[in-house]
Structure 1
């Protein structure tokens, strides 16, 4: 039931030969969450199986990028105890995705046992709990919050034009053809899903959530709660998966209206920024890991022209799928080489890694014939599809509220501030306004002083009288006001 079951076979033909002299300078990993409960029954939760998948995948990335014995080890990365300056992890505010990230990071840098023991000045030792458990903080990404509680992930992007573009698919000829042509298939599922979907909801319009419900049930539900039926067999599930793939890819990407792939554009910009930071920091930043949902995969697949490599890149990636961009060089030095000696390799692994092996396969990006692109070419191609700033995002999406609220008012204020010494017939200069403000403030203070005298029975006493009472004392230390009985 995998959407990309033949990827490893096709991809093996595209692998590049890796020499012993190759150095991996850094990498950016985008990781899908693990197995979860069905989307149609929110709140969705990461299952024990999903947590195990993520932990195992993280451990296998440890073996690839962290282990001292790996030929793919990132140059100079800490092999035992995590160095926070070298790794950045991020995820949207979503329980399933964030918990998946925690599991992955535990596998990426597993507990270090006695290595983490500290000796204090007084000679006593302190052991880190959980056998040297290592904490790796995660920051928030701007889009994708609540992804796994939404039946369609585009709504979590908040991008106005992208949402409109995705909805345009429901007016297309291809959609309407599948809607009418699959009516009987979806209606036949009614005995299995009538507790979740009404008869009117059983159509291609809900292709993904219907497939998702059945897929989750086949993994987790007992025979008693989800009895076997002649209605549902491997052939039917495969047909439902193909339809779900078609449905979701067309909502995530359209070659003639690329704003639909806003999540992929944003991801492309984040990847480019992070890899560039690895280069410009001299290799101080080494590994970025971002956790997310399948829509980011699909929209990036389309933007990077990966379906031209194999049609399987139009399918929904399995739980715990991974894609990574690796900075590599044949330079034998120990520093970051010139950018002319740096290449970028894109690798992908479809499916869960609970089986204990990860086969990251290299694929050519942007319709190129080779699986490694010179850094300059990767930059140019990525900039063509990427969004790299909040301003660009707001402009592309056509948003004008929230984080994209117009700043024209603030701009007007700042311009008037720059001409603070001038005044116009429609107002006063800031200098005059300042004097008036000071006078108003003084008036308020005097009013408060008089009020307090009335309330507490205070009265002014001439300084000369006070000086007479305290003759022989330093007049400067005598208060100008005294308290009398009311």
Structure 2
């Protein structure tokens, strides 16, 4: 009897469908640079601490996505030797951001010791520099160049209407209220600011620049090098400085009533959508791991577009140095090498500051949803509502008519005229590279405008309640 029961249980277990293990099909990592010198002092440079931070962050993502044996290893990715076609990396033409990206990539694909030397035909052995350091090409992004030398997000976007929109914040009631209510706080810091800021510049108008200057000094300078450090850089003042800077920068980066203000984030989201569409359309043969570096302002703008504060008030805050996030394409389908879009989902992870030790990024729901996983079809639908997916769309939103926008406008006019005004010419959109058009090849619509910038902080992983409240109130006002 007992034997028959055991046999029955065995047969039942064999008949039961196997539980599918989740596979990661691809990932898009977006990261902030590491610790750097203060912006206001000029010639902004990545520090040794900053290089260490981004290398540590990259090393974490290596363990998650590249290392053999990881349950989150990207399906088909090469380990330990990089395959160039599998990885795409980019950063603006900016020393801090590009050097950060280089350090980060060294963490993702560290030196390959097995290929550290080469034997030539004549028997000569050539040792590889840096013990087998692997080279990953870094694509420069023209837009947003020198963004770490700019103290203001829109200063490097080149978007005319975005500049106007952000400037409107300075005439809003919420801004003027903050300017008045914080006046005494900033003036109280005069003893540690007066060597760099004039009295009239010590105000909420320069909230980020002041925070950045004092934060860098607090990290790098001893009390003897930073007179007044112990008295003025108290924990309470640090929280207040970050909270006010976060309110200020959030409102410059995003406004729910004026979508053009978040143009830099919209461009990044367009790039993510484009990459995933290419990856899916090629069955996982196109850039399965993407890495992009950018500024805190750009990150805040796409946090706004993705409604991330609905998941946590911490998304109102300025992300710390070396913060990183990832969009993962995942599936439970094991019936084919690459599944259909109906069997693919997207997950979003974020970690504020460098990922070290046993730290793990946190999974957050996107677009105000309650679930951590969003179906790929829903993800693309929501992204298309807020992302910039073509040059012409960027030009239309920004009101720019020069440069590539001039050729884009001329090409659109020509195509409309030749088609009798029917408007039947397709534009390059996310997921379509080199789109076939009906009458002619549209010129000048190839460049996606990726914008990036800066980060900061040491211990604070989320904005204070006061900051979150002030930010949520002010960001709802139309500037």
Q: TM-score range by the shorter chain?
A: 0.7 to 0.9
- 1:294 is aligned, of 296, 299, 302, to 296
- Structure 2: 5+ residue stretches without partners: 1-18, 420-479
Q: How much has 1:39 moved relative to structure 2?
A: 1.1
Q: CA deviation at 1:414?
A: 10
Cα deviation, 1:135-163, whole Å, max 9, x if unaligned, reads 11111224221111111121111111111
Q: CA RMSD in A?
A: 2.1
| 1:396 equivalent in alignment to 2:397 | yes
Q: Aligned with 1:171: secondary structure?
A: coil
CA offsets 1:20-54 (integer angstroms, 9 cap, x no match): 70000000000100000111111111000000001
Gaps of 5+ in 1: 1-18, 419-486
Give the aligned partner of residue 154 of structure 2: 154
Is the CA contact (8 Å cut-off) linking 1:349 and 1:359 kept in structure 2? yes
* CA contact 2:253–2:301 (8 Å) conserved in 1: yes
1:310 to 2:312 alignment: yes
* 8 Å contact kept, 2:179–2:204: yes
Q: CA deviation at 1:333?
A: 4.0
Q: Is 1:262 matched up with 2:276?
A: no
Name the structure 1 match of 2:435: none
Secondary structure in structure 2 of the residue aligned to 1:45: coil
Q: Does the Cα contact within 8 Å between 2:20 and 2:333 map onto a contact in 1?
A: no
Shift in Å at residue 114 of structure 1? 3.2
- TM-score (ref. length: structure 1): 0.79
Is 1:234 aligned to 2:245, yes or no? Answer: no
**Is residue 2:117 matched to residue 1:117?**
yes
1:251 aligns with 2:252: yes
- SS at the partner of 2:214? helix
The 8 Å contact of residues 254 and 260 in structure 1, kept in 2 or not, is answered as yes
Give distance in 2, aligned partners of 1:92 and 1:35.
Answer: 17
The separation in 2 between residues aligned to 1:361 and 1:32, in whole angstroms, is 17
Q: Shift of residue 359 of structure 1? A: 1.3
1:387 aligned residue: 388
In 2: Cα distance, 1:345 partner to 1:151 partner: 32
Query: What is the alpha-carbon distance in structure 1 between the residues aligned to residue 402 and residue 315 of structure 2?
Result: 35
User: For residues 37 and 172 of structure 1, do their structure 2 counterparts lie closer, same or farther at Cα, with a shift above 3 Å needed?
Assistant: same
Aligned residues: 399
State the alpha-carbon separation in 1 of the partners of residues 390 and 332 from structure 2.
32
SS where residue 248 of structure 2 aligns? helix
TM-score normalised over the length of structure 2: 0.80
Q: Tell me what 1:214 maps to.
A: 214
* TM superposition outliers: structure 1 runs of 4+ over 4 Å: 406-418
Please give the secondary structure, in 1, of the residue aligned with 2:266.
Answer: helix
Aligned to 2:10: none
Measured at CA, do residues 203 and 403 of structure 1 come closer, stay the same or move farther in structure 2, by a change above 3 Å? same
Task: Tell whether 2:362 aligns with 1:361.
Answer: yes
Q: 1:351 aligns with which of 350, 353, 372?
A: 353
Separation in 2, partners of 1:333, 1:83: 26
For the structure 1 residues 416 and 335, does the alpha-carbon distance in structure 2 shift closer, same or farther, using more than 3 Å as the test? Answer: closer
> How many angstroms apart in 1 are the aligned matches of 2:413 and 2:22?
55
